[in-house]
Amino acid sequence: MSQKVYDIRQTPTPCKWSLNSSEPSPHRHIPHQERPKICGSILEAIGNTPMVRINNITKKDGIECEILVKCEYLNPGGSVKDRIGLRMIEDAERDGRIEPGWTLIEPTSGNTGIGLALTAAAKGYHCIITLPEKMSQEKSNTLKALGAEIIRTPTEAAFNSPESHIGVADRLERELPKAIVLNQYSNASNPLTHYDQTAEEILSQCDGHLDYFVVAAGTGGTMTGISRKLKERCPNVKIIGVDPEGSLLADPEHDPVGTYKVEGIGYDFVPRVCNSELVDQWVKTNDQNSFDIARRLIKEEGILVGGSSGSSFWAALQIAKTLPAGKRVVVLLADSIRNYMTKFINDNWMIQNGFMLPPEDNALSGKSLRDLNLSPSQNVLPSTPCSEVLQLMQEKSYDQLPVVEGSSILGVVTVGGITAKLSSGKLKSTDPCSMFLYKGNRIVTLDTPLTYLNTLFEDEHFALVNTGTYISIVTPIDLARYVATLQA
């Protein structure tokens, strides 16, 4: 495996574990315990999640083998990551690396941050979470409710960039007194909690009988810890790793790195805790399959999961379709529906991101943006001062303007955005408009169906139109005027 894709702050793991080795473990292991009838705190409710048989989907899809799902989304914080949040903090306490009054910092896709913040709240630690912009607002809201401080970072930043969620966390650790990054990417507590706890639960629930175990890889700690214990106790079990298209975990030498919508799995580097030597087969998944299957699990089985669980279950179905009756497939479902209420659970979001077709509308069917005959919009440069942008908007009666540099659309400035920042003192009239860009804009083309645009405007106030030769802005008013002409 190429060293260039490892987190450059660490060498590959020096762990000496190997299957059937007689060498004693250098790690502290914690015996598995059943959940007490009355938990002393919410932390004792972490783990011991149920194993559930799939019935309706297997029947509809003609699956002959048994599929069981390990419902990690039923942990108190809503994901499998509650386990490592608790274990990393308690191991650090035992080792004397943290004590009351310290600040815990963690770069995360959201779920580890929630698990860490949950334990921090119960134990009284201050928590700072660095979170890529891609991650859902629901995750951010949950973290805030738990008392965590959140710093958003650019999604496109490479893992080793100072602007990435990892880079920002490292800088904060250096700058803040009594602060520590527990670092799920290299912390042995990550795979250890799954080796000691999650795997033991699976073995107990299955009475030691399972033929395939399917798990998606994020940091790889869940996959590494569980697969090692399962291979020790069930030598014939097949481990199926799941990796989204756009991630390189399955094949670091050849997999191209790209963007994808599914959250919490896949990376553009191989974390130190990720050891795939026991993975018998990798299955690559895409956003469409992941979201479709997650929605099926919710609708047909009543299992309220997130998108990465759809990735895992889709991969499991590909394996299960080849298996006869009598075989057992266990799938780990990592997180819950709670984090994605405004994302793949929402039909409009699915339509706006190309995963569902818009509903047919008699007035707009077969029509595209080309039919609106839009004129080019006035654009501004990122260096244009705030005062000049406002003056232009007032003269032309614009509510928003595209900010363009060369052939690149950098974002949009709006009257409301400028006014709010000026009145709050966060902006000066001489500041360049690049300081108050709105980057969450939708970009459409002249071939975009008006049925799609109609759905988009249920959530958005405008969209940018890139014709290839000029930039324009389309608003709900433009669409309403066009519909009025059709009805005249």
* Residues designated as active site: 81
**Distance between CA atoms of residues 202 and 195, nearest Å:** 11
**Distance between CA atoms of residues 30 and 195, nearest Å:** 10
- Partnered with residue 444 across adjacent β-strands are 465
**Distance between CA atoms of residues 25 and 62, nearest Å:** 44
Structure tokens at 47: 């783990």
Any idea what DSSP says for residue 162?
Answer: T
> Helix (H, G, I), strand (E, B), or coil: what is residue 238?
strand
- Partnered with residue 414 across adjacent β-strands are 400
Query: Is the CB of residue 15 less than 8 Å from the CB of residue 275?
Result: yes
Which among 222, 213, 441, 418 is positioned nearest to 329, based on CA atoms?
A: 213
- Partnered with residue 400 across adjacent β-strands are 414
> Helix (H, G, I), strand (E, B), or coil: what is residue 166?
helix
Query: Is the CB of residue 12 less than 8 Å from the CB of residue 3?
Result: yes
Query: Is the CB of residue 217 less than 8 Å from the CB of residue 242?
Result: yes
> Helix (H, G, I), strand (E, B), or coil: what is residue 307?
helix
First to last CA, the chain: 66
Write phi, then psi, for 245 (nearest 5 degrees).
Answer: -60, 130
> Helix (H, G, I), strand (E, B), or coil: what is residue 487?
helix
DSSP characters over 186-208:
T-THHHHHIIIIIHHHHHHHTTT
